[in-house]
């Protein structure tokens, strides 16, 4: 009996050794769809983007080098002095309008993205406009975090004229050279920027706990105010933290809006997070599982959009990953940045297949105490990290208008890899990512002999993709690697 068991085990072992490894199969003549997706990122205002801060130069240099479209800019409530231009209510014939701290960062953003479309979102409403049980203060130090600057869901002015007046003046500051304040005083800026899109608030389901009905009224009032100042600016609605069906059902129904209010674009967010007690070894499964769950939800949301407002575009403008609290307390390991970059590449493939218009990675700059795990700039050496370089690799090579073709990973363990082939009619390219914390050898078709391959992995670190030429019948994908293979013309 023991002898038979040993023989059986030996036979089983031989079969395991002879099992076929993963192989890439691309059917170039089998078109799936034409992409309409644009990869991009968001920039959240914070002290590290102020002039003189250690991360300023490297961050804005990387942003200018990217040359991206639909880049989202969000001065955010934890730093009120960097986000709110009128921190105190008009009183005794005076106003508190002040752009001295806001302008330098905003102008640096607008100059770094000049010539490309941007989505502006000064999402933080002055706190004094809300009814609250007590006065909400703000830190005197602009670099100090003020998480308590928030609260309230009911405006003190129910006509919302205070709200819309604030945003009319703020937008005029950047597009019309200045504005006249509530007391009749003119404030000159000299700025005349074109703003392609303005997004109305950020995560209103979370930051002020608005209902979809309340938010829709705010959106309509804001759109009319924006168009009073900048009639060509299109608007983005919702920017939801959570994918709640009732929000999409209500907001996307034109019957719930005032006549003539455009629904140019909607937006919502997703962060694939680890459970707080998980070790890093489990992240490779948790993060991709949560990405899959989100992609399934996107399909459902798209069915609502197509039914109610098919002309409305979609921008998923915050895509990222989170680590546990304990991992945030120390320098984050390189493997995480490669994993997070791989997750974004996975999102890009899935959301492109879902027909999403804008696929935005979050965010340019994070640092200890301020979501370090979503940073695209290494906060230690101020260089772009793997998350940035994967975005740039995709943005520079895969365009809206490219055709997706049938692509498969043929193997029993094919789920460890994900790939998608694109072509613009002349150039063929394949985006491949490794979902696992192990090296995997992928067999590629003979036509890829001589193809160029660019790879971001543990060896590239905080540098641009490593470029080489395929000279064998397989490519090696190190843990969480993202590679792009490009066939030369005519192949």
Q: What is the CATH number of domain 37-398?
A: 3.20.20.80
CA distance 483 to 491: 19
Residue 154 Cα to chain centre, angstroms: 30
Which one has a higher pLDDT value, 40 or 328?
40
The domain locations on the chain are: 20-32+404-487, 37-398
The pLDDT of residue 151:
81
User: For the residues 259-284, what does the mean pLDDT come to?
Assistant: 95
CA distance 215 to 238: 8
Q: What is the CATH number of domain 20-32+404-487?
A: 2.60.40.1180
CA distance 119 to 117: 7
Confidence class for position 19, pLDDT limits 50, 70, 90: low
Count, residues in the chain: 491
DSSP reduced 3-state for 467: strand
CA distance 491 to 485: 13
| pLDDT over 70 percentage in the chain | 95
Q: 435 near 417, Cβ under 8 Å?
A: yes
CA distance 334 to 147: 29
Q: 95 near 181, Cβ under 8 Å?
A: yes
Which one has a higher pLDDT value, 352 or 325?
352
- What is the per-residue DSSP string for 434-473? E-SSS-EEEE--GGGTT-EEEEESTTTTTSPPEEEE--SS
| Rounded to 5°, angle at Cα 77 from 76 and 82 | 65
Q: 69 near 117, Cβ under 8 Å?
A: yes
Which one has a higher pLDDT value, 2 or 246?
246
Q: What is the longest distance spanned by two Cα atoms in the chain?
A: 99
Question: What are the tens digits of pLDDT across the range 387-443?
Answer: 999 999 999 999 999 999 999 999 766 699 999 999 999 999 999 999 999 999 999
Residue identified by tokens 């703020």 is 170
């Amino acid at each position: 009996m023991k002898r038979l068991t040993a023989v059986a085990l030996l036979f089983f072992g031989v079969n395991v050794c002879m099992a076929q490894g993963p192989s890439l199969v691309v059917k170039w003549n089998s078109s799936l769809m034409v992409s309409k997706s644009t990869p991009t990122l968001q920039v959240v205002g914070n002290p590290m983007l102020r002039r003189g801060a250690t991360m300023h130069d490297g961050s804005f240099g990387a942003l200018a080098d990217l040359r991206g479209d639909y880049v989202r800019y969000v001065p955010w409530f934890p730093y009120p002095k960097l986000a709110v231009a009128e921190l105190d209510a008009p009183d005794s014939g005076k106003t508190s309008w002040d752009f001295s701290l806001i302008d330098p960062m905003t102008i640096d953003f607008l100059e770094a993205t000049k010539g490309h479309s941007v989505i502006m979102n000064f999402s933080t409403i002055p706190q004094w406009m809300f009814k609250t049980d007590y006065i909400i203060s703000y830190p005197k130090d602009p670099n100090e975090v003020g998480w308590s600057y928030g609260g309230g869901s009911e405006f003190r002015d129910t006509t919302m004229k205070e709200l819309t007046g604030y945003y009319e003046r703020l937008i005029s500051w950047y597009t019309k050279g200045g504005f006249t304040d509530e007391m009749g005083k003119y404030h000159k800026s000299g700025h005349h920027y074109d703003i392609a899109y303005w997004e109305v608030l950020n995560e209103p389901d979370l930051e002020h706990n608005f209902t979809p009905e309340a938010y829709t009224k705010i959106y309509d009032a804001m759109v009319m105010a924006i168009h009073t100042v900048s009639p060509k600016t299109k608007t983005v609605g919702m920017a939801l933290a959570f994918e709640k069906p009732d929000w999409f059902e209500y907001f996307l129904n034109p019957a719930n809006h005032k006549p003539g209010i455009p629904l140019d674009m909607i937006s919502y967010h997703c962060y694939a997070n680890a459970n707080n007690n998980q070790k890093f070894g489990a992240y490779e499964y948790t993060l991709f599982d949560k990405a899959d769950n989100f992609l399934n939800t996107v399909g459902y949301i798209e069915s609502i959009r197509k039914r109610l407002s098919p002309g409305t575009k979609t921008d998923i403008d915050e895509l990222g990953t989170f680590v546990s609290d304990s991992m945030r307390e120390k320098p984050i390991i390189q493997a995480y940045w490669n994993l997070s970059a791989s997750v974004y590449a996975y999102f890009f493939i899935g959301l492109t297949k879902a027909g999403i218009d804008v696929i935005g990675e979050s965010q340019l700059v994070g640092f200890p105490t301020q979501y370090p795990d979503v940073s695209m700039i290494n906060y230690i050496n101020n260089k772009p990290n793997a998350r940035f370089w994967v975005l740039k690799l995709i943005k520079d090579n895969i365009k809206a208008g490219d055709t997706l073709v049938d692509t498969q990973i043929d193997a029993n363990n094919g789920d460890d890899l994900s790939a998608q082939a694109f072509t613009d009619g002349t150039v063929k390219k394949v985006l491949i990512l490794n979902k696992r914390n192990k090296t995997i050898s992928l067999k590629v078709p003979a036509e890829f002999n001589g193809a160029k391959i660019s790879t971001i992995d543990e060896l590239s670190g905080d540098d641009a993709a490593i470029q080489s030429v395929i000279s064998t019948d397989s490519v090696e994908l190190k843990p969480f690697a993202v590679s792009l293979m490009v066939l030369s013309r005519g192949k």
